[in-house]
Structure 1
C-alpha cells in the first residue's frame, strides 16, 4: 500500500498507513497560511480490499461546515470523477472505498491540472478570434495568461463593450476553471448564434486561472506567498499579489462594462451570485441590470437559483478589497461573484457525481446566454 501526493495540485500528509481499514491522513496548510481544505492524492493498494482513509484534521480546516453532507471524488483514469462514501463526525472525515483497480486518485473536487490549463490557452490561441496576452509572471515564475476574444472593430465604428471573466483566484476552487472552459468553448463556437452576435459589439477578456502557483502547489485559497488574492483588490502589489496587480492594470487600460469573478463555495450546495450592493456607486441602474441577469439565468437553467446565497452587504459597507466590489466601484459596472458548490446542487442532486466538472462547464456555457440577455444595456 502506498499513498502519494507528489504531483500537480497534490496535497496530503500520511500520518499512519499500516492497515487498509485505519489509514490516517492530514491536509497540508497553504504555504505561509493557515488555510487548508483542498486534498488530492493517489492510493496504490490491493484490488478488492476495503479502504478507510481518515483525514484527521478536517475539523480544524478553513471551512469545517463544508464537510457536512460532502462526498469526496475519486477516479481511476483521471477523466471520470465519481463520488465515494464519505462521513464526517465534526472532527474527522472518513472516506470509504473498495479498490476496483490497482490505484485510484481522490480529491476534494475534480482537479483542473496546470497541463490542461496550458492546453486550454493554446487551443484557444488557434482561433482567429483570440489574442493571447502574457500579463506578467507570478511569484513562482508562471505565466498569467489572458485570452482576448473579439477585439476586431465593432459594427458602425462603435466602441466595443468590455466583458471581463476571471476564474480561480482561490486555486482549490477548480470548478471555476471548468466553468471558464465551458464558457470559452461556447464563445469560440462559430456556429453558435449567441456567441456570434455578442462578438459583434463586445470584447471578452478571460483569465481561466488567476492563481496558477496556488493551483500547482495544492493550495485551497492563497498564492505562493500565502496571500488571499480576493482580498487584494484595493491595493495589490508586485511583492504580494502580482496576479491582481497585472489584471487591474489591464482593466484600467480596457475599461470594464461587465465583470464576473468565478468561485466555488465550500458550505452552500447551490449555484448563486453575490452582487456589489454595498459599494458607494451602486444605483438603480445596476440593481435593475443585476435583476435582469439573474432572471435570465433562472430562465436558462434550473442549475441556478436566488433563494440561497450570501447576506447582502449594507449600502456603503461593501468590502473594496474583494474583486467584484472593487471593480464595480472603480468602473461603475455590473459585477458579480459567481459561486458553485463543492458538494452537489441540492436543487438537482446527482448521487453518482454531485456537482461535477461537466456541470460546471455547462453552467459556463449557459452564462454566456445570460450575458446576451442584458448585453444591450451594459453601458
Structure 2
C-alpha cells in the first residue's frame, strides 16, 4: 500500500499506512502560513478490504466547521470525481473507501490542474476570438496570464472576471471554463450580443503558484491575495499587483471575482454595500444581476450568504470592494460550495466541476441583463 501526493496540487502527509483499516494522514499547511484545508493524494493498494482513511488534524484547519456535512471526492480516471463516504468522528475526518481498482485519487474538491489551465488559455486563443496577454511572473516564475475576449472599441463596457485568488477553491476555475465555453460560442445569441457591447478581461487563475503547491488560500509567499488589493507589491503579491495595474490602465465597468466557500452549502454573491461611495445606482445594478441569475438557474439563491457590511465599513483590501470603490461600478464576489447545493442536492457528486461550469455559462445571462446599465 502506498500514498503519494508528489504531483500538481498534491497535499498530504502520511503518518501511518500499514493496514487498510488504519490509514492516518495529515494535511500540510500552506507555505509560510497557518492556513490548511485542501488535500489531494493518490492511494495505491491491492487489498480488497475496505480502506479507512483518517485525516487527523482537521480540528485546527482554516475552516473547521466546513467539515460538518462534507463528503470528500474521489476519482479512478482523474476526469470523473464522485463523492465518497465521509464522516467527522472525534475531530478526525474519516473517509471509507471500497476499492474498485488498485489506484484511486482523493481530493477536497475536483482539482483543476496547471496543465488544464494552460490548455484553457490556448484553446481560447485558438478560437480566434481571444488574445492571451502575459502580465508578468509569479514568485515561482510562472506566467500571470489574462484573456481578452472581444474587440475593444469606444463605448464598449469593460467586464472583468477573476478567479481562484484562493488556490484551493478550484471550482472557481471550473466556473471560468464554463463561462468561456459559452462566451466563445459564435452560435450563442447571449454571447454574440455581449461581445457586441463589451470586452471581457478574464484571469482564470489569480494564484498559479498556490494552485500547483497544493495550497488552500495563499501564494508562494504565504500571502492571502484577497487581502492585498489596497497595497500589493511585486515582492509579496505580484499576482494582484500585475492585475490591478491592468485594471487601472484599462478601466473596469464590472467585476465578478469567483470563489468557493467552505462552510455554506449554497451559491451566493457578496456585494459592495459597505464601500464609502456605495449609492443607489450600484444597489440597483446588484439587484438586477441577482434577479437575473435567480431567473436563469435554480442553482443560485439569495437567502443565505455573508452578513452585509455596515455603510462605510467594507474591507477595501478585498478585490470586489476595492474595485467597487476605485471604479464606482458593479463589483461582486461570487461564492460556490465545497459541499453541495442544499437547495438542489446530488448525493453522488455534490456540488461538482460540471455544475460549476454550468453556473459559469448561466452567469452570462445575468451579465447581459445589466450590461447596458453599467455606465
> What's the TM-score once normalised by structure 2's chain length?
0.99
User: What CA distance in whole angstroms lies between the structure 2 residues aligned with 1:168 and 1:49?
Assistant: 38
1:153-199 Cα offsets, whole Å, 9 max, x none, are 3xxxx421100000000000000000000001100000000000110
Contact 1:47/1:101 (CA < 8 Å) preserved in 2? Answer: no
User: What CA distance in whole angstroms lies between the structure 2 residues aligned with 1:315 and 1:45?
Assistant: 56
Residue 255 in structure 1 maps to residue 255 in structure 2: no
Residue 30 of structure 1: how far off its partner (Å)? 0.1
Residue 90 of structure 1: how far off its partner (Å)? 5.2
User: What CA distance in whole angstroms lies between the structure 1 residues aligned with 2:272 and 2:165?
Assistant: 18
Match of 1:102 in 2: 102
Match of 2:213 in 1: 217
Q: What pairs up with 1:166-185 in 2 under 5 angstroms?
A: 166-185=162-181
Question: Which secondary structure state, in structure 1, belongs to the residue aligned with residue 158 of structure 2?
Answer: strand
Residue 49 of structure 1: how far off its partner (Å)? 1.9
> 312, 319, 324: which is aligned to 2:315?
319
User: Number of residues paired by the alignment?
Assistant: 375
Match of 1:74 in 2: 74
> What's the TM-score once normalised by structure 1's chain length?
0.98
Residue 39 of structure 1: how far off its partner (Å)? 0.1
Match of 1:278 in 2: 274
Residue 165 in structure 1 maps to residue 161 in structure 2: yes
User: What CA distance in whole angstroms lies between the structure 1 residues aligned with 2:290 and 2:197?
Assistant: 22
1:36-65 Cα offsets, whole Å, 9 max, x none, are 000000000025221000000011100000
Residue 344 of structure 1: how far off its partner (Å)? 0.2
Note the aligned Cα RMSD (angstroms): 0.7
Match of 1:27 in 2: 27
> 312, 335, 344: which is aligned to 1:348?
344
> 193, 197, 200: which is aligned to 1:197?
193
User: What CA distance in whole angstroms lies between the structure 2 residues aligned with 1:62 and 1:211?
Assistant: 18
User: What CA distance in whole angstroms lies between the structure 1 residues aligned with 2:305 and 2:280?
Assistant: 21
Residue 152 of structure 1: how far off its partner (Å)? 4.2
1:7-38 Cα offsets, whole Å, 9 max, x none, are 00000000011111111000000000000000
Q: What pairs up with 1:219-258 in 2 under 5 angstroms?
A: 219-258=215-254
47-56 or 274-283, which deviates more: 47-56
Unaligned runs of at least 5 residues, structure 2: none
User: What CA distance in whole angstroms lies between the structure 1 residues aligned with 2:118 and 2:49?
Assistant: 37
User: What CA distance in whole angstroms lies between the structure 2 residues aligned with 1:89 and 1:317?
Assistant: 39
Contact 2:20/2:47 (CA < 8 Å) preserved in 1? Answer: no
Question: Which secondary structure state, in structure 2, belongs to the residue aligned with residue 185 of structure 1?
Answer: helix
Residue 129 of structure 1: how far off its partner (Å)? 1.6
Contact 1:59/1:90 (CA < 8 Å) preserved in 2? Answer: no
Question: Which secondary structure state, in structure 2, belongs to the residue aligned with residue 41 of structure 1?
Answer: strand
1:279-304 Cα offsets, whole Å, 9 max, x none, are 01110000011001000000000000
Question: Which secondary structure state, in structure 2, belongs to the residue aligned with residue 350 of structure 1?
Answer: coil
Question: Which secondary structure state, in structure 2, belongs to the residue aligned with residue 17 of structure 1?
Answer: strand
Unaligned runs of at least 5 residues, structure 1: none
Residue 265 of structure 1: how far off its partner (Å)? 0.1
